[in-house]
Homo-oligomer: A and B are copies of this chain.
Amino acid sequence: MRKKSSAPTMKDVAQEAGVALGTVSKVINGIPVGESYRIRVEAAISKLHYQVNSYAQGLKASSTHTVAVLIPNTKNSYFAKLTNLINLSLTRRKYRMLLCCTDYDPSFEQEYITMAQQNKVDGIIGLTYNPNLLINPDTPFVSIDRIMGANIPCVTCDNFMGGQMAAEKLADLGCQNVAFLRIGSSLTNEPNKRRAGFENGCLAHGLHCETKMLEDDDSIEEFEIFLRERMQNGRLEFDGIFCSTDLLAYHTIQMLDKLGVRVPEDVQIIGFDGVQLFGELDYICSTIVQPVEDIAEMCVQTLLQDTLTARPPLICLPVSYAAGGTTKESVPQNHQISTRSIR
């Protein structure tokens, strides 16, 4: 009959091995002890299937080797991939990850922050929208895509450059009259710079550009109305469209299809994010690709580096362009071919 029905503790191990509690602790933490002691302790550990209790450890050390990740959801392919990569990066460093899907809800975001702090996490990585998020300043926080305050580092991609690249690309591909479509949070976050970059790029390359932005609560159908208004004799007046996200690009392509406008023959489309089918196959559309791997790694690295000083407030990672079948590349590219193949 076992002494206890519950899990064995260090005390049990010490008793089994016939040594003192402190010795067991030392063996577990790799602090040198006498060879014979070590062997006896290790034998006892494996005999009892002893496992340390991280909660007791955490209580003692007030560091839990756990990081909370706040993200709207993991359904959206971009978020899903980001979550996956952050998880891998944390795991590599022996950190645990608390997943917190906020569903874009500001109050959920706040609740999760509170929860995380109660749970004494070592840090929080958050892609959040709540403008007045209350964060205890002694919990390290790294923000994605939004500048939150003086002492909170923000990791993002070079959204401005991405917008510029999109404009440049469309110009290179022969466009003259382009549109920028955007929907989503009216919050001042980094992705908003996509617009500024695009307009800047249009100016530089002599493109005429019209911008149409929707608010969160607007229906996506507004775009359809907008596009319909810009048609004359069955022809769209734009020959290029830059969408603020791949998701929006996808919707736009569907709308254009309904209107009888062909992509990329009549109008070329570039999205943003670099969303791929099944997370690693073909791009949904021609797109400005975010360096998700680097973003994930940078978040974790920035969060966990001990030198809290010298943390730059804004870390901007470079983007790249990938053809995805919704633009007329002169030299066919891999992705374009494969994407076309399922169309």
Contacts and interface: CB of A to CB of B under 8 A. Distances in A.
A83 B74 contact: yes
Contact of A55 (B73, B119, B275): B119
B99 A254 contact: no
Contacts of A341: 253-254, 257-258
B51 A55 contact: no
A279 B341 CA distance: 22
B281 A277 contact: no
A254 B55 contact: no
Interface string A310-343: 0000000000000000000000000000100111
A231 interface: no
Contact of A59 (B55, B74, B103): B55
Contact of A342 (B87, B100, B117, B343): B343
A306 interface: no
Contacts of A250: 277-278, 281, 342
Interface string A71-85: 001111100110110
A114 interface: yes
B114 A76 contact: no
Contact of A278 (B84, B96, B275): B275
Nearest to A103: B88
Contacts of A258: 341
A138 interface: yes
Given A84-B101, A99-B83, A342-B254, A55 B49 contact: no
A62 interface: yes
Range of interface residues on chain A?
A: 35 or more
A96 B119 contact: yes
B64 A74 contact: no
A288 to B, nearest CB: 17
A74 B87 contact: yes
A141 B257 CA distance: 48
A77 B118 contact: no
A253 B343 CA distance: 10
Residue of A84, A138, A284 contacting most chain B CB atoms (<10 Å): A84
A106 interface: no
Interface string A92-126: 00001111110100001000001101111000000
A78 B80 CA distance: 11
Nearest to A138: B7
Given A75-B278, A91-B101, A279-B77, A52 B84 contact: no
Contacts of A80: 74-75, 77, 80, 83, 279
A56 interface: yes
Lowest 10 CB-CB distances: which A-B pairs, in order?
A75-B279, A80-B80, A257-B341, A343-B343, A99-B99, A55-B58, A74-B84, A54-B119, A87-B101, A55-B59
